[in-house]
Structure 1
Amino acid sequence: MMKIEGIAAFVAVAEAGSISEAARRLRLSKSVVSERLAEMERTLGATLLHRTTRKLTLTEDGIAFLERATRIVREIEDAASDMAERRGTLAGPLRIAAPVTFGRMHLGPALYPFLAEHPDIELSLDLDDRRVDPASDGYDAIVRHGAIADSRLVAWKLAKSRRVLTASPDYLARNGTPRSLAELDGHRGIFYTNRGVADWRFQGPDGPVLIRARLGLRVNNGDMIRDAALAGLGIALLPAFIAGPAISAGLLTAIDVGFHPDDEFIYMAHPEGRHPSAKLRAIADHLKKAFGDPPYWEP
């Protein structure tokens, strides 16, 4: 008879890409996960995974089995959560991905009191600035900053996110303060690598305007972009949730060029077609209230 523990081990390995990482997520030993996989393959009479010393890949049978196996595991997790919720308890595993800087500065402090109030929730929070796919990477939801564009995701807005052109007083004293979009052309820019291009996008009276400053630095982390601006390396277009404290302290200066960057949001998104659990909805509602409208980090 097929055991749910074996199905869960197979799904975890397929999502994690390795037995060791799956064992870490399941909080089991590698030997136990390997044993459950082997038993699953014996029960099915099929090889689900190709194992080599360098990598692990799904066989054709594994690919065919994965979709239904994932659905089975999710249904059982949701059923267990629903039973807990019927007893007035938010409980069970939850896996969320979020950007590093926002997670450290705002998401973590907002989540800690919620988790203390609901100790039966088993939250795994992965902080990573790369863009992850919640469906294929095995997340219940992701927290992101930016425009809401991915049609495969159902997004819940948590807070507005205003971006601010900013630089250190020292940089502006040496290079002058730009007062128009045209004056930005001669300045050095500090850009966020994960946006893909080194430019600034503003909303003008006739539509979007793209400004390409001289490249001073490209980096894939918001903390380092702020620190580079503090060091006087150039102008950065930073979210207020990163730049706000430094602007309020006078360490960075907000620059007004007469136009605003595109509107963006802090949002939580889950894969389309997946019924969000009560605990996920409860976390989203809690975060929305914790961040406020307008959000508390506005300078």
Structure 2
Amino acid sequence: MIKLEGIETFVAAAEQGSLSEAARVLGLSKSIVSERLAELEREVGARLIQRTTRRMTVTEDGLAFLERARRIAREVSEAAAELAERRGELVGSLRVSGPVSFGYLHLGPALYPFLQQHRGIELTLDLDDRFADVEAGGYDAVIRHGAVRESWLVAIRLAPSRRMLVASPGYLEANGVPTSLADLDKHKAILYSNRATDWRFTAASGDIVVHPPRALRVNNGLIMRDAATAGMGVTLLPSFMVHAEIKSGKLCKVDIGLEPERAEIHLAYPKGHRPSAKLRALTDHLRRVFGDPPYWDLA
């Protein structure tokens, strides 16, 4: 008989990409993880994972088994959670992915009181500025800053987000204050490298795209903010990342007469999955904490 613990261990190993990481996530020793996988392979009569001293790979049979294994593990977890929900409890695992800068500045602080209130929830939060794949990563939901274009995802708006051009007072004093699109060509830009490295503005005639000369290109918003504070150039960032620096005077908002393209912060999950009570409670909590307009814009 196939044991559920073996299925859960195999799913963790496949998703984490190593036995050590699977052991860490499951809170087990690496030897127990290996034993459970070996027992599962004996029970199904196939090699699911190829292990060498250097790396671990999921075999062709393993990939075929993985989708059903994920579904079994998820349904058992959801069934247990539903029974707890009947008793008025929120318990069980919850896996969420989100962007690094927003996670550090706002998502983390918003989660702490939620977890204090619901101590039966075991939350795994993965922060990555690249868009995570909900299914492949085994996530219950992903939080994104920007549009959710996948048709197979349900997107729930958590908060609006506006972007703004900013620079340090010292930089503007030394290089002049840009007041038009044409002025931007005379300034060095700090650009985000994970997406298209252009700036978009909204005008009555339609969207305007600007390709500014760059001083720095980096894949992290907090470093972009700090580079602007250090006087490296002008950058375009969400208000949730720079509101404190603007308030303190470390950064100044640059107004060129056009509004930068807006975005929204979403929580997204697969259409085929009914959101659990845990996920619904988390969504409501985040929307309430962030506010509309969000607290960082009020500040």
- Deviation at 1:147? 2.4
Deviation at 1:109, TM superposition (A): 1.2
What are the residue-to-residue correspondences of 1:165-244 with 2, within 5 Å? 165-195=165-195, 197-244=196-243
1:57, CA displacement in angstroms? 1.7
Q: CA deviation at 1:129?
A: 2.3
Deviation at 1:154, TM superposition (A): 1.6
Q: Which residue of 2 aligns with 1:138?
A: 138
Counterpart of 1:76 in structure 2 is 76
**C-alpha separation between the residues in 2 aligned to 1:91 and 1:148?**
28
* 3-state SS in 1 of match to 2:194: helix
Asked if structure 2 preserves the Cα contact closer than 8 Å seen for 1:7 and 1:73, the reply is: yes
Secondary structure class of the residue paired with 1:135: helix
Which one is further off, 266-275 or 239-248? 266-275
3-state SS, counterpart of residue 33 of structure 2: helix
1:3 Cα deviation from its structure 2 partner: 0.4
3-state SS in 1 of match to 2:157:
strand
In the superposition, the TM-score normalised over structure 2's length comes to 0.96
Give the equivalent residue in structure 2 for 1:8: 8
SS at match of 2:139: coil
Tell me how far 1:153 sits from its aligned partner.
2.1
Structure 1 segments unaligned to the other structure (5+ residues): none
The CA distance in 1 between the partners of 2:215 and 2:9, in whole Å, is 47
Unaligned 5+ segments in structure 2 are none
- CA–CA separation in structure 2 for the residues paired with 1:204 and 1:57: 51
Shift of 1:35: 0.6
Residue 250 of structure 1 corresponds to which residue in structure 2? 249
Tell me the SS of whatever aligns to 1:94.
Answer: strand
What whole-Å deviation, never above 9, does each CA across 1:105-134 have from its counterpart, x for those lacking one? 111111111111110001111222232212
- Runs (4+) of structure 1 exceeding 4 A deviation are none
CA displacement, residues 190-217 of structure 1 (integer Å, 9 cap, x when unaligned): 011111x321011222222110111110
**Percent of aligned pairs sharing the same letter:** 58
Moved more, 53-62 or 234-243: 53-62
TM-align CA RMSD: 1.2
Q: How many residues align?
A: 298
- 2:151 corresponds to which residue? 151
Deviation per residue, 1:156-187 (Å, 9 max, x gap): 11000111101011111111111112221221
Report the secondary structure of 1:287's partner residue. helix
Structure 1 position 163 matched with structure 2 position 163: yes
